[in-house]
Amino acid sequence: MIRLEINGRRRDVDVPGETPLLWTLRDEMGLTGTKFGCGMALCGACTVHVDGQAVRSCLTPISAVADKKVVTIEGLGTDSIGKALQAAWIDVGVPQCGYCQAGQIMSAAALLKRTPAPTDAQIDEAMSGNICRCGTYTRIRAAVKQAVAKQGGTR
């Protein structure tokens, strides 16, 4: 039994310790907002926060997050940065198919938590691990900047 905190709630899960966090979230806990895209930390679709850091849940064994705080896209809206990003994503009309966007928003949220007013280069660097096959990158950048502006950040 592995104990962890998911979106503010204590959860105990009974899976082999090497099971990736991704599949534990999706198959065992029903938190399907975190997506599978590659299984090799190449695409970022599975990005979640562990103790505030963006991590690729597809390569993170569940044993590595024991007693840690995990936040997924389902729980992101409870903080102001998450809420601002979600609102900006809608306002800018970022999503096309939308499949990668949970991971994109999680990466963007982790960026803004450590860098409230990122430069273009910092946005690029933080987001380059997240693939969008629909090609929404220009709008992702615009939405991050809009969220920054709404948060009162300046560059």
Partner 1 sequence: MNALILANVSRRWFLHGISLGGLVLAVGYPSAARAQQAKKYGADGMPNGWVDNPLAFVSIAEDGTVTIVCHRSEMGQGVRTGMPMIVADELEADWKRVRVAQAPGDEKRFGNQDTDGSRSTRHFFEPMRRCGAAARTMLEAAAAERWKVPVSEVQAKNHEVVHRPTGRRLGYGSLAKAAARQPVPARETVRVKDPQQFRYIGKGQLKLVDGRDIVTGKAQYGIDTRLNGMLYAVVARPPVYGGKVGSFDAAEALKVPGVEKVVQIEDSPPPAHFNPVGGVAVIARNTWAAMQGRRALKITWDDGPNAGYDSAAFKATLEESAHKPGKVVRNDGDFAAAAAGAARRLEAEYYIPHLAHATMEPPAATVRIANGKCEVWGCFQSPQAARDLVAKRLGMSADDVTVHVTLLGGGFGRKSKPDYAIEAAVLSKAVDGKPVKVTWTREDDLHNSYYHTVSVEHLEAGVDGRGKPVAWLHRSVAPTIISTFNAAAKSEAPFELGMGVINVPFAIPNVRIENPEAVAHTRIGWFRSVSNIPHAFAVQSFVAELAAAAGRDPKDFLLDVIGPARQVSPETLGDTWNHGESPERYPVDTGRLRRVVETVAREAGWGRTLAKGRGLGIAAHYSFVSYIAAVVEVAVDDKGVVTIPRVDMAVDCGATVNPDRVRSQMEGACVMGVGVATLGEISFKGGRVQQDNFNSYEVTRMTEAPRVIRVHIIPGDYSKPMGGVGEPGVPPIPPALCNAIFAATGKRIRRLPIRDQLKV
With contacts defined by CB under 8 A, name the span among 49-57, 110-118, 119-127, 145-153 that binds partner 1.
Answer: 119-127
Select from 11, 69, 113, 141 the one that contacts partner 1 (CB under 8 A). 141
Are 85 and 91 in contact, with CB atoms under 8 Å apart? no
The verdict on 119 binding partner 1 (CB under 8 A) reads: no
The verdict on 97 binding partner 1 (CB under 8 A) reads: yes
Closest CB 57 distance from partner 1, rounded Å: 12
The verdict on 8 binding partner 1 (CB under 8 A) reads: no
What is the footprint of partner 1 within residues 12-51 (CB under 8 A)? 15-16, 19-20, 23, 26-28, 30-40, 42-43, 45
* Residues near partner 1 (CB under 8 A): 15-16, 19-20, 23, 26-28, 30-40, 42-43, 45, 72-74, 76-77, 85-86, 89-91, 93, 95-102, 105, 123-124, 127-141
